[in-house]
Amino acid sequence: MSTTSTGTVTVATLKVADGLLHYEVRGRGPLLALVGAPMDAAAFAPLAELLATDHTVLTTDPRGINRSRLHDPEQDSTPELRANDLARLVAHLDLGPAAVLGSSGGAVTALALAQAHPKVAHTVIAHEPPLVTLLDDAKEILAREEDMIATYLGGDRLGAWRMFLTNANIQLPEEAVLAMFGGEPDPQAAADERYQYLHMLRGTTRFRPEVAALRDGPTRVLVGLGEQSTDELCDRTSRVLAASLGDEPTMFPGGHIGFVDDPAAFAVRLREVLAAG
């Protein structure tokens, strides 16, 4: 393990059998983990800073992304492996059990954690998990996903991202699409993007939650949903998952990445949800 403190942030790494996990810790108080996939720790930094006034906030780069390096860079990342990583990090900090907010693929990680390591987290908020297998039209969606991956591998990055947005039913202005995906990414972003398409996406969207274990286990499991995500793919998956757990979605401000667009509003709502437990 290596550790560096910069201001109020402790930046460290933890060795695991097949690689090295990058993580960051802010603040003091009850442990709260913010996890994404493929989003890394940097995406959560503004939210983490706000929550660190009364929490110990853990953020991490998921395995294979950015600073969390694998010995075999072509190894697939599954929700189960990422959940094991998160359990190791919580145990290493020795501040658990934790509250966990997972976003998108990180929401699937959080669900896998609640299934496999129920004593690690007292609360899991799975914000917009893309659990395609829960949907009646899963076969068609996954077929389009395969076409998207093939398009990316064929060298058409912009075309692949257009297909991604269409499959997710996310509507963006053309100028926004071009600004986000029309140019050449920097080398690290390109490597992370490739890893997501080739080694992370399939395992995430094809994950099948054990509904009974989530519903009846000791972990409080909530399904988060952005108020602006109406009719998007993750709106559908989130509502189906919540219904299967006998609940309604827990609404949050913004859309799929509301914590990035308005971290202050998201932090207020997250504190309300955690306090209600």
Q: Render pLDDT for 73-131 as a digit per residue (tens, 0 to 9).
A: 999 999 999 999 999 999 999 998 999 999 999 999 999 999 999 999 999 999 999 99
> CA 66: distance to chain centroid?
15
With contact defined as beta carbons under 8 Å apart, do 124 and 33 qualify? no
R_g (Cα) of the chain, nearest Å: 18
Q: Where are the alpha helices (DSSP H) in the chain?
A: 41-51, 79-93, 105-116, 138-153, 157-168, 174-181, 187-195, 201-205, 211-216, 233-244, 258-261, 263-275
Domains identified in the chain and CATH numbers:
2-135+206-275 (3.40.50.1820), 138-200 (no CATH)
pLDDT at 200: 98
- Residues 33-50 pLDDT 10s: 999 999 999 999 999 999
Structure tokens at 201: 């996406």
- Residues 200-256 pLDDT 10s: 999 999 999 999 999 999 999 999 999 999 999 999 999 999 999 999 999 999 999
- Residues 157-180 pLDDT 10s: 999 999 999 999 999 999 999 999
Q: Flag whether the pTM goes above 0.85.
A: yes
How far apart are the C-alpha atoms of 174 and 9, rounded to whole Å?
37
How far apart are the C-alpha atoms of 68 and 59, rounded to whole Å?
12
If one counts every other C-beta atom within 10 angstroms of the C-beta of residue 231, the result is 9
Average pLDDT over residues 189-194: 96
pLDDT at 277: 77
Whether residue 6 is predicted with pLDDT greater than 80 in this model: the reply is no
- Which DSSP helix (H) or strand (E) runs through 226? strand 220-226
Whether residue 152 is predicted with pLDDT greater than 50 in this model: the reply is yes
pLDDT at 5: 46
Residue 210's Cβ-count burial label (10 Å; 0-12, 13-18, 19+) is middle
Percent of the chain's residues with pLDDT above 70 = 97
Contact partners, residue 44, CB within 8 Å, separation at least 6:
34, 36, 59, 259
pLDDT at 146: 98
